[in-house]
């Protein structure tokens, strides 16, 4: 049963995978209201300049729809999906948010958010860190690896 009124999380949510599902599932279990920020295509590309597979990024609307379908499949009816174009989204200014759900990778951003909130005189967010999800080979599941696999498959198909 959720114990916070509102939590938020953000990400690209590209090629929705088990890591994303674990993050979203945790948000549902922590918060009565879940606010999810999904990055714009432009911001996602800017953040991943060195990712040679970024051309296989799913369009924003596809990524938002994946998040929506997952939330609703888990019975979550109190949520909002917003578009974000920076690392902070609504976290810097939201007075109703009590917690932020992050991975180990994004934990430093949550700490930075709390420092900036303190400067603004806002309450600190409870930082809820969700561990990475690993595949059967012991590797962290990531959208980049999925895009890389898609790229390899496309190259194989071209050779046929």
Tokens 């958010």 sit on residue: 113
User: Is the torsion defined by CA of 51, 69, 83, 104 positive or negative?
Assistant: negative
Q: Is the pLDDT of residue 9 over 80?
A: yes
Q: What is the 3-state secondary structure (H, E, C) of 82-132?
A: EEECCCCHHHHCCCCCCEEEEECCCHHHHHHHHHHHHHHCCCCCEEEEECC
Averaged pLDDT for residues 119-127: 98
**Shortest CA distance to 79 belongs to which of 146, 19, 21, 9?**
9
Looking at domain 4-159, which CATH architecture does it have?
3-Layer(aba) Sandwich (3.40)
Tens digit of each residue's pLDDT (9 = 90 or more) over 29-79: 999 999 999 999 999 998 877 778 888 899 999 999 999 999 999 999 999
**pTM score above 0.75:** yes
C-beta of residue 56 within 8 angstroms of C-beta of residue 150: yes
Neighbours of 140 (CB within 10 A): 15
Averaged pLDDT for residues 110-130: 98
pLDDT at res. 48: 79
Instruction: List CB contacts of 141: < 8 A, sequence separation 6 or more.
Output: 17, 18, 19, 132, 133, 134, 135
Q: Is the pLDDT of residue 132 over 70?
A: yes
φ/ψ of 29, rounded to 5, equals -75, -25
């Amino acid at each position: 049963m959720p114990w916070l009124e509102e939590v938020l999380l953000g990400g690209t949510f590209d090629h929705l995978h088990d890591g994303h599902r674990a993050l979203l599932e945790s948000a549902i279990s922590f918060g009565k209201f879940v606010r999810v920020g999904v990055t714009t295509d432009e911001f996602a590309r800017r953040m991943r300049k060195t990712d040679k597979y970024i051309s296989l990024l799913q369009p924003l609307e596809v990524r938002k729809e994946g998040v929506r379908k997952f939330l609703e499949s888990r019975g979550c009816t109190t949520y909002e999906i917003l578009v974000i174009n920076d690392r902070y989204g609504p976290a810097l200014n939201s007075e109703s948010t009590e917690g932020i759900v992050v991975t180990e990778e994004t934990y430093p951003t949550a700490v930075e958010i709390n420092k900036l909130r303190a400067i603004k005189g806002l309450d600190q967010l409870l930082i809820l860190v969700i561990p990475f999800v690993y595949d059967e080979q012991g590797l962290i599941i990531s959208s980049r690896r999925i895009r890389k696999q898609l790229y390899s498959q496309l190259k194989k198909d071209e050779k046929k």
